[in-house]
Amino acid sequence: MTSSPTSTPDSVPPKADSAASGGAWRPGVDPVGRRQFVRLPGSLPLERGSSLPDVTVAYETWGRLDSRAENAVLVLHALTGDSHAAGAAAPGHPTGGWWDGLIGPGLALDTDRLHIVVPNVLGGCQGTTGPASDGPDGRPWGGRWPEITIADQVTVEAALADAIGIRRWTAVIGGSMGGMRGLEWAVGRPDRVGQVIVLACGATATAEQIGLYDAQVRAIIGDPGWHGGDYHGRPWDDVPHGGMGLARRMAQISYRSETELEDRFAARLRSDGQFEVTSYLDHHARKLSRRFDAGSYVTLTRAMMTQDLGRGRGGVPAALRSCPVPFTVVGVDTDRLYPLRLQQDIAQLTSVPLHRLRSRSGHDGFLIETKQVGDIVRHALRVP
């Protein structure tokens, strides 16, 4: 049983919001920012057998689509990312771009020659339909939200591409959960992908990843503020921020390397008697609970738990060996959440070399080492 949110620092409401939004962006309440929207009419069939009506996708773009729609690149975010991959924090965008050093004029994803599209993922909480979104009856989906998979997320991204007139992507690029979707694009829709660049992910969830993710999900759904997923609209102190904070603390440890944490914090104490590393984890827990919905965290984490590129395709080796799409595979040498052996497996099955990012930052290295990532992307896209 997790502690009550009222007993944790994560329960302190942000100054500008004393009512519960659960961290989700709210249409008609929060600024739109750079978001654009596409509504996908009709019912979306899901891999597990249920369906979703009238899905809305939020996305952002950089650069211009050429007259033949042949210069589009799809960039896919990780678990707690969103469509705001480049640019400063601004109204509607609580954080700056998560790949700001890669997207722009003259950068690896050169907006003078490429049209960059970054959608918020299905099940997310920053404009695309997810658990915090209103269902057909006008109430938030909450606990009624269905189970979704990585394949369902890609189905929505393909429908977005159709809606904005992009038949084939020059490249699909993603790291971590975004890399999982990149793999699914390449194997499931090879005729729509010129090449794929995947970073810091595997082709199927491992037992360790499933165990770690399950512990995070249990921390959230065991919080008294979870209310079966139906907490949207409740006061700030009756929302599962305590469980969300515990989940984020577990995740943050797995995102960084043991060496980095030891070098930065060791067993040092602050003047208030708190361990420095504990203060660091508290900071990340508070920060995420203010910008991300717990229901989205649960549904996206469960999607990663069920990731299996070989499902229905005769297994991972058969799926990857038969894929005609050119691959670029990138791993982080200190990643303990998605260790290099997982990227090595993908590289071997697709007959390409493995690119290694040198980083002390662990899994987050794919977000932090933008110079190294940029060099690899430039080479793959043949950007001078």
Check: CATH 1.20.1730.10 for 5-381? no
> CA 329 to CA 236: how far, in whole Å?
42
Largest Cα separation within the chain, whole Å, is 62
The model's pLDDT over 127-159, given as tens digits with 9 standing for 90+, comes to 999 999 999 999 999 999 999 999 999 999 999
| Two structure tokens written together for 57 | 């996708």
Q: Are 170 and 73 in contact (CB under 8 A)?
A: yes
> CA 353 to CA 332: how far, in whole Å?
14
The model's pLDDT over 226-245, given as tens digits with 9 standing for 90+, comes to 999 999 999 988 999 999 99
Closest CA to 169 of 79, 97, 109: 109
Q: Supply the pTM of this predicted model.
A: 0.94
pLDDT at 195 over 60: yes
| Two structure tokens written together for 277 | 């590393």
Whole-number percent of the chain with pLDDT over 90? 91
HSE of 307 in the Cβ direction (CA atoms, 13 Å)? 28
In sequence order, the β-bridge partners of residue 316 are none
Q: Where are the domains of the chain?
A: 5-381
Residues ≥6 apart with Cβ < 8 Å to 130: 24, 122, 123, 124, 141, 145, 293, 295, 296, 299
pLDDT at 77 over 80: yes
Average pLDDT over residues 311-338: 98
> What's the confidence (pLDDT) of residue 3?
34
Q: Which of 82, 308, 335, 345 is catalytic?
A: 335
Q: Where are the alpha helices (DSSP H) in 241-369?
A: 241-255, 258-264, 276-291, 294-305, 316-321, 340-349, 365-368
Report CA-CA distances (Å) from 32 to 5, 22, 25, 159, 302.
Answer: 30, 18, 9, 22, 28
> What's the confidence (pLDDT) of residue 12?
53
> What's the confidence (pLDDT) of residue 41?
86
Give the torsion through C-alpha atoms of 118, 119, 123, 125, to 10 deg: 80
Q: Which of 115, 133, 363, 364 is catalytic?
A: 363
Specify whether 363 is catalytic.
Answer: yes
> What's the confidence (pLDDT) of residue 11?
54
Specify whether 50 is catalytic.
Answer: no
Q: Which of 176, 257, 289, 359 is catalytic?
A: 176
pLDDT at 49 over 80: yes
Range in 26-30, 151-155, 296-300 the model is least confident about: 26-30
**Using 50, 70 and 90 to split pLDDT, how confident is the model at 6?**
very low
Look at the alpha carbons of 163, 164, 165, 166 in this order and tell me if their dihedral is positive or negative. Answer: negative
Q: How far apart are the first and last CA of the chain?
A: 55
Closest CA to 305 of 216, 227, 243: 216
**Burial class, 302, CB count within 10 angstroms (exposed 0-12 / middle 13-18 / buried 19+):** middle
Average pLDDT, the chain: 94
Average pLDDT over residues 331-360: 98
